[in-house]
Amino acid sequence: MLSLGRFLGVPVFIAPSWLVIAVFFTLVYAPVLSDAVPGLSGSSAYGAAIGFSLALALCVLAHELGHTAMSIRLGQPVRRVVIFVMGGVSEVEGQLNRPRDELLVAAAGPFVSIVITGLALAGYVSTTHSTLVGALLMLLFWTNLALTVFNLLPGLPLDGGRLLRAALNAMGVSSHTSTSIAAWTGRVVAVLVLVLGVSIRDPQWGTTSAIFSAALAFYLWVGAGRAERITALLDRIPTLRVADLLRPGLFISDDTSVAEALSRAWSGSARGLVTVDSQGHPIGIVDEARIGAVPPERRPWTRVAEVARPIELGLVLPVELEGQALVEAIRATPSREYFVVNSDGSPAGILSSADLAAALQSPA
């Protein structure tokens, strides 16, 4: 992806897939501009259409930056902003805590788009309509208006779906139920988009319209399901507790063979191995995947130190850790296993990221 810099500290990117929509709009609007502006050559029409595609990308970017600015204003970090073939996305970290906050963040993007639409119309009114500038401003007005209206349809993953979910939450509907309602309305929108696109019988653009509508419908359908899964995951985060996910661990000398370590773990029902130095101090956590990958014939000759990760500060977690703080700790230092200690510093056990992922994905 191509970096466009940062906005309020948030990295902004444009994906290569955006070129697809840029080519599409260029091919669609070049003939329109040629008809709208008397005497405009074919090459000039295509050049202007390319410029229009770039201007539209900037409009989409401004829309997403509206989401980003409001999210940051409300204290919710944004991981990145990406412009791609189907539009753009502001990747907000975590979950907005109040329905009002989600409503404000969801509405900020369409608000920016409405302002741009109004400015394009004002510019068109103040120019000579048959000029290239007038034609481009009119195209910018109608395209932004159409995209804004479409984006406000009440179905996820569109902003209208987020507004619907926020409104339902504000009325006391649970996060899970409100997301399901908004996701299913999003699926209805996807079906309608597909049906409308396939029903177009234009001899020149009928096939292209059907393909584009099918891709958009697929994106909406998949996005609706993804929104449901993400909400279910975020709803489970507050219930996570390190103490509930602990594996019993076994201390073992770092020069012990893999064969001996596995034998002792199996006989002692341990589900995690921590290597210690000659003084008995923990120095490493044995990687479950790496120790399992050692061929049986090599296990008697391979030391567990070779399949262990040195214990760093981020690999030691307090047993009291829970909820979002636990997720942030895992994100800060990714690993398959973590060494968990009690409040007095004594060993409590091992936390596996696989167990954490299973807890997040398990049915409610």
pLDDT above 90: residue 281: no
Say whether the peptide bond before residue 157 is cis (omega within 30 degrees of 0): yes
CATH of 242-361, one of 3.40.640.10, 3.90.650.10, 3.10.580.10, 3.30.70.3000: 3.10.580.10
73-99: per-residue pLDDT in tens?
A: 999 999 999 999 888 899 888 777 789
* pLDDT in the model for residue 363: 62
Task: Return the CA Rg of the chain.
Answer: 27
3-state secondary structure of 93: coil
Alpha helices in the chain (DSSP H): 18-36, 42-73, 99-125, 132-151, 159-170, 175-199, 206-236, 242-245, 258-267, 288-293, 323-332, 353-361
Highest mean pLDDT among 30-44, 105-119, 299-313: 105-119
pTM score above 0.95: no
**Could you tell me which residues are beta bridge partners of residue 349?**
340
- Spatial contact of 104 and 82, defined as CB atoms under 8 Å apart: no
Over residues 324-348, the mean pLDDT reads 88
* 260 Cβ contact partners less than 8 Å away, ≥ 6 residues apart: 300
On the question of pLDDT at 263 being above 60, the answer is yes
Give yes or no for residue 119 having a pLDDT over 60. Answer: yes
Q: What is the overall mean pLDDT for the chain?
A: 90
Say yes or no to pLDDT of 364 above 60: no
Domain ranges of the chain: 2-238, 242-361
